[in-house]
């Protein structure tokens, strides 16, 4: 008879191999968890930024629409007050409109006198807002409400950790 040498058969993993595999999987799992968590935070921040930018665009479109409806009678727009933070005017339908920026509260508000005095907050996180008034050449500024042809609105708001600026120039109807 022949004697066989004893060869050790490997029927499984040792405890050390199992521990090493568990540590490697734990490290990979923690890295993946951090990646997923950061992706979720980035998604939420982006979603919030888009919502705030959408509000800013809506506010500017609303102001443009209202200002373009300024009454133009006898060659003059019916503008009452034209300052950097307040604009008052009468629309074609006779509604008296006031656009007001209040720096202390960072509010940009739009008010109407018909049917009763109602105020709507257009934006509530405005850092700066300025209304500028221009003559028909589009370059020369004016404070004379009867000579205004263009109104430029500029606003700055904070969105997350960044600052966003928006500017629009509105040509009043019937005069340009």
pTM given for the model: 0.72
Query: What is the mean pLDDT for each group of 10 consecutive residues in the chain (176 residues)?
Result: 60 83 93 92 86 86 91 88 92 91 91 81 88 92 90 87 87 70
pLDDT of 9 = 62
pLDDT of 176 = 43
- Take residue 14 and report the two structure tokens written for it: 């040792």
User: How many whole angstroms from its chain centre is CA 5?
Assistant: 80
- Take residue 30 and report the two structure tokens written for it: 């923690």
């Amino acid at each position: 008879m022949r004697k066989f040498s004893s060869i050790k058969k490997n029927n499984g993993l040792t405890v050390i191999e199992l521990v090493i595999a568990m540590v490697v999987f734990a490290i990979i799992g923690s890295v993946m968890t951090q990646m997923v968590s950061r992706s979720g935070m980035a998604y939420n921040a982006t979603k919030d930024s888009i919502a705030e930018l959408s509000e800013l665009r809506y506010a500017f479109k609303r102001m443009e629409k209202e200002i373009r409806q300024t009454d133009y009678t006898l060659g003059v727009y019916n503008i009452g007050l034209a300052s950097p933070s307040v604009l008052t005017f009468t629309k074609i339908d006779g509604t008296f409109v006031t656009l007001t920026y209040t720096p202390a509260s960072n509010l940009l508000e739009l008010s109407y006198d018909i049917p009763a005095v109602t105020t709507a907050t257009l934006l509530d996180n405005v850092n700066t807002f300025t209304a500028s008034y221009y003559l028909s050449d589009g370059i020369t500024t004016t404070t004379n409400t009867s000579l205004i042809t263009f109104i430029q609105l500029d606003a700055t708001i904070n969105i997350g950790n960044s600052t966003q600026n928006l500017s629009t120039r509105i040509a009043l109807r019937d005069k340009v």
